Amino acid sequence: MKLLILSLCIIANLSYNGKASLESFMPTKNNMILADTTKGSDKSCSRPCKFNVKPRRCTYDFEITPLIEENGRPTLTVNTLTPGPPIQVCLHDIVIVKVKNKVPNQDVSVHWHGVEQKGTPFMDGVPMITQCPIAYGSIYEYAFIASSPGTYFYHADSVAHQSDGVYGSFVVGQPQPSEPHSSLYDYDRSEDHTLIVGAKFDDLLTGRLEDVSRIRPDNLVVNGEETDTKIFVMQGYGYRLRFINAIALECPLLISVERHPMTIVASDASPVQPVIADAVRLYPGERMDVVVRTDQESGGYWVRVSGEGVCDGLSAHAMLLYSGFNYTNMLEQGPALETESSYETVVFGQQLRSLREASHVANKKSVYLSIDKHSSKFKDADIDFSYRSDAMAKKPFFPAVLSSEEKVLQINGKNFLYPNTPYLLKPRDVPPSIMCDIGKEDEHKEPQCLQILKLQTNEVIELVLANEGFNTNDSYTFHMHGKKMEVIATWQNPSSTPISKADIDKLLKDDSITRNDKNPPIKDTVFVPNKGITIVRYTPIFGGSWLLECRSCSTLLPVAILISVPISIPKLVIDALPSCGNYRPADTLLN
């Protein structure tokens, strides 16, 4: 409780131009709750995590800047690096990241993917929902407690900014005896054995007006390299490897280690019942921890990463190198080509089972979300590009993309509309006319609205994510901000024909869809198969405004809903956070 109270005091003074400094909350003789008792250490937050040691205050300075790489390819970087600097901390450390935007004519923000922002929902990094965007030349301080161990990563909230290079790994460690699967491995060297996979593009996506989700990347990279990432091991031991799919587009990855089966021990930072696999499939934003035993002949072995979806045909490699092996010939020969048919077992996260049993839920609310593409219902004459001030009478607004013959992906027939002010911080300033309740979207006449699902703390709901497939043959990946979900079921129509709500209701009523109510995997990122459903159980245990979004679906019109859980944020905190000034998101300006 003391940590929580102190963290709130710290968060209340986050603004770079705030009324008080973080330094004013440093430990004193009378306040030693955050004292660092690890005498003689190098003061780095990347360290072995131990019991009975007070948490550290881990401060990072990030500058997001454009850069031209040696090969002439433009990119965005964090401290001139892509991926950005890895963050390695221990459980209960306070993480403070000062982000400075040095990208001209661009607003940015940073999302901490998978991190449960308990008590700090304004640190989630979603512009116009939890914060104001970081304007060019400005600084925003993120500060939160690393409250759960596991593998995470950070990335720019913008799909284009993330694709251009703004992403990096984020690992929260804990004392080894607390790790439920520590008996399965000898070494967890997360600084050296975390593999974060990104995609490279021929040109910057930042600033492009077209739908970047359709732009195909040129190649994949592991820790920023196509083939040069090396994992050094000793023969006869078990090693924990951490895989991260940091690609913002709909690009699943197939990952394997040559001649080395993998034991899966965690998915999306949550421990699972161990499963052995020849390869694992990671959807965009997913993470998976595996154990590899170095029980083969001493030598060098390829870690293969193969792209699917928009990345089909692309690949990247790393090297697993036994101690003393000369890998020169290995580089000259290159990896042999393998396909999914080469593997006997391929496992993805939603097939796994959690270590802990789920509590029985007597009363739960079911919410159906229809995911499909729809044709425009509007004519060119409906589109009004004229600028209007707030003092002028409002007219209906229809985005130009809806005037084309192309179908647009939507949830319950609507696209998400970002508000004119951060909803979490100043909900009363958001015009009620732009809001629509989930399930009642038909009452809103315009094609976009702020789609809100209002819940109470500890209210249990089951979200039926239904990729109906009447107008699309694509699968989609959704990410839940702020709080993990239990994946109850994943089902795809075996007849490969579209499905409707009536079809799903009947299947559920007849128990024709296999459910895992006992040990559902706990995840923050899930995929929804085409002409199929994914059912997730969600129980908000703390307040906030949380997006459930399909970031990779489209960058022209957002595909998301907002889950709103009551929370009272002190005025002191709101006043200390940077204000938006005259900023308005593009769709709000035109509206």
Q: Are 35 and 54 in contact (CB under 8 A)?
A: yes
Q: Are 352 and 272 in contact (CB under 8 A)?
A: yes
pLDDT at residue 398, as a whole number:
59
Query: Cα–chain-centroid distance for residue 96?
Result: 19
Q: How far apart are CA 259 and CA 67, in angstroms?
A: 39
Polymer length in residues for the chain:
591
Q: Are 100 and 135 in contact (CB under 8 A)?
A: no
Euclidean distance between the first and the last CA atom of the chain, given in angstroms as a whole number: 44
Q: How far apart are CA 176 and CA 50, in angstroms?
A: 8
3-state helix, strand, coil in the chain (%, to 5): 15, 35, 50
Q: Extract the tokens encoding 566.
A: 């009551």
Omega cis (within 30) before 83: yes
Q: Which long-range contacts (CB under 8 A, 24 or more apart) does 28-34 make?
A: 33/2, 33/3, 33/6, 34/6, 34/94
Cβ neighbors of 46 (< 8 A, separation 6 or more) are 88, 89, 191
pLDDT at residue 381, as a whole number:
60
| H-helix or E-strand spanning residue 272 | strand 270-277
Beta bridge partners of 452: 437, 562
The pTM is what?
0.89
Domains of the chain: 2-351 (2.60.40.420), 365-590 (2.60.40.420)
Q: How far apart are CA 243 and CA 265, in angstroms?
A: 12
* Residue (of 357, 298, 297, 292) closest to 325 by Cα position: 298
pLDDT at residue 377, as a whole number:
66
Place of tokens 């998400």: 416
Q: How far apart are CA 531 and CA 475, in angstroms?
A: 8
DSSP secondary structure, 151-176, as one string: EEEEEESSHHHHHTT-EEEEEEE--G
pLDDT at residue 70, as a whole number:
86
* pLDDT by 10s per residue, the chain, length 591: 333 444 444 444 433 333 333 333 233 333 323 334 333 334 579 999 999 999 999 999 999 999 998 888 999 999 999 999 999 999 999 999 999 999 999 999 999 999 999 999 999 999 999 999 999 999 999 999 999 999 999 999 999 999 999 999 999 999 999 999 999 999 999 999 999 999 999 889 987 877 777 789 999 999 999 888 999 999 999 999 999 999 999 999 999 999 999 999 999 999 999 999 999 999 999 999 999 999 999 999 999 999 999 999 999 999 999 999 999 889 888 887 766 668 999 999 999 999 999 888 888 899 999 999 987 666 656 555 554 444 444 555 556 666 566 788 999 999 999 999 999 999 999 999 999 999 999 998 888 999 999 999 999 999 999 999 999 999 999 999 989 999 999 999 999 999 999 999 999 999 999 999 999 999 999 999 999 999 999 999 999 999 999 988 866 789 999 999 999 999 999 999 988 876 655 544 333
| H-helix or E-strand spanning residue 162 | helix 159-163
Q: Are 414 and 441 in contact (CB under 8 A)?
A: yes
Query: Cα–chain-centroid distance for residue 178?
Result: 25
Q: Within 13 Å of residue 140, how many CA atoms lie on the same side as its CB? A: 26
Cβ neighbors of 527 (< 8 A, separation 6 or more) are 252, 283, 348, 350, 475, 476, 477, 478, 490, 534
pLDDT at residue 362, as a whole number:
80
* Residue (of 268, 288, 273) closest to 115 by Cα position: 268
Q: Extract the tokens encoding 391.
A: 């003092």
pLDDT at residue 212, as a whole number:
75
pLDDT at residue 399, as a whole number:
64
Q: How far apart are CA 287 and CA 290, in angstroms?
A: 10
Q: How far apart are CA 483 and CA 270, in angstroms?
A: 12
pLDDT at residue 392, as a whole number:
47
Q: Are 507 and 513 in contact (CB under 8 A)?
A: yes
Place of tokens 């089966």: 261
Q: Degrees (nearest 5) of the Cα angle 136, 99, 40?
A: 155
DSSP class of residue 25 equals: G
Beta bridge partners of 101: 64
Report CA torsion sign: 417, 418, 419, 420: negative
DSSP secondary structure, 100-137, as one string: EE--TT--B-EEEET---TT-GGGS--BTTTB--B-TT
Q: How far apart are CA 346 and CA 261, in angstroms?
A: 11
